[in-house]
Amino acid sequence: MVIRKEEPADIPAIHALVRDAFGKDGEARLINDLRASGNLALSLVASAGSDIIGHIGFSPMSWEGTIGLAPLAVASAHRRQGIGQALIEAGIEEMRVRHIGAIFVLGSDKYYPRFGFLPARQFSVGCIYPGGEKYFFVRELRAGALKGKSGTVRYAPEFDKL
């Protein structure tokens, strides 16, 4: 398996992978919309040979110096093999290189804490989406990156179409 930035030839495979992983077209369209608007800050794929078996996207949040992780998808035949973990770790490292202060994610309370994500409410931060109290997490990449910030942070406008 190789983790790398997406290439133009990967776009149809990314769309199919994400659609299949989520069982609907919304998240796959989201990636296309983020890409078209210039808000897909980072798009990584996991490939095995010529097959795309995983994808992760990152887009800017409404607070300067913060980024949102979403969506993360792994092909069903390749789950529980560390592909999601490898994509998350590669994305976190790239965000460190880019001097991003914090990464937000709305996702599983069983999965994301293992990567150092903490409930956003611990930082007095919320989101507009249902489940935000339990499922909205943040990882500071720079100590104190969220100091002085509180309230509601928003994903890129393209997320409002979901």
Per residue in 90-136, pLDDT (tens digit) is 999 999 999 999 999 999 999 999 999 999 999 999 999 887 789 99
Per residue in 19-78, pLDDT (tens digit) is 999 999 999 999 999 999 999 999 999 999 999 999 999 999 999 999 999 999 999 999
- First and final CA of the chain: distance in angstroms? 30
Q: Please tell me the predicted confidence (pLDDT) of residue 99.
A: 97
- Phi then psi for residue 58, to 5 deg, are -135, 140
CB 155 within 8 A of CB 61: yes
Beta bridge partners of 55: 45, 73
Cα(11)–Cα(125) distance, integer angstroms? 33
CATH of the domain at 33: 3.40.630.30
Other C-beta atoms closer than 10 Å to the C-beta of 28 total 21
Cα(119)–Cα(109) distance, integer angstroms? 9
Residue 24 is given by DSSP the state: S
Q: Which amino acid is at 138?
A: V
Q: Please tell me the predicted confidence (pLDDT) of residue 129.
A: 87
- Domain housing 52: 2-161
Domains identified in the chain, total number: 1
DSSP H or E segment with residue 92: helix 83-97
The pTM score is 0.95
β strands within 6-160, DSSP E: 42-48, 51-60, 66-74, 102-106, 118-119, 125-126, 136-140, 151-152
